[in-house]
Amino acid sequence: MIRVITIEREYGSGGADIARKLAERLGWQLWDQMLTDEIARQMDCDSRAVEEHEERKDALHYRLFKAFLRGSFEGSLNAPRLKMVDADCIREVAERVVTAAAKSGNSVIVGRGAAYYLRERPDAFHVFVYAPLEAKVQRLRATGIRAAE
């Protein structure tokens, strides 16, 4: 029996709208913005900080700085206290939150690697939403995003 649906999507494909409509129709919990909010709560930071880094790779200069910090004695002692909000930290917390959401069942989870984290669950159904480039551009323009973006 399916208790969790994960929806991964291309940017602009409308996957988030499909997930919202699916959750409403099934009467299930939608984990999209709520997932970001829960990650931020667990990391003790603002949701905007999580949104800036989630589903993205940190800049090369930042990754080099972090590698240097981890390699130094002082950095290894202080790194946990710094409460760094970066892609690696967000990924770790996202995995915990996604797994907890799946345990609660009757959940539609959007992005954040949910399909990967839940790949072994027999009660999870995974969907990937894509669309032609023209349709994605049209959908994004309708939301107010400029063509250059």
pLDDT tens track, the chain, 149 positions: 888 999 999 888 888 899 999 999 999 999 988 888 888 888 777 778 777 656 556 566 555 666 556 665 554 444 445 556 666 777 788 888 889 989 888 999 998 888 999 899 999 999 999 988 888 888 888 888 776 76
Q: Say if 149 falls within a structural domain.
A: no
Q: Say if 47 falls within a structural domain.
A: yes
Q: Which CATH number belongs to the domain containing residue 73 in this structure?
A: 3.40.50.300
Strands 124-129 and 29-31: unpaired
Q: Say if 147 falls within a structural domain.
A: no
The whole-number pLDDT of residue 10 equals 86
Q: Say if 126 falls within a structural domain.
A: yes
The whole-number pLDDT of residue 4 equals 93
The whole-number pLDDT of residue 110 equals 92
Number of domains the chain contains: 1
Can you read off the two tokens belonging to residue 48?
């905007």
The conformation of residue 114, written as its DSSP 8-state character, comes to H
130-139 LR contacts (CB < 8 Å, sep 24+): 130/9, 130/10, 130/13, 131/10, 131/12, 131/13, 131/14, 135/13, 136/10, 136/11, 136/12, 136/13, 137/12, 139/12, 139/13, 139/14
The whole-number pLDDT of residue 58 equals 58
Helix (H, G, I), strand (E, B) or coil at 128: strand
The whole-number pLDDT of residue 22 equals 93
**Global model pTM greater than 0.85:** no
DSSP conformation letters of 45-107: S-HHHHHHHTTSPPPHHHHHHHHHHHHSHHHHHHHHHH---SHHHHHHHHHHHHHHHHHH-SE
Domain span holding position 79: 4-142
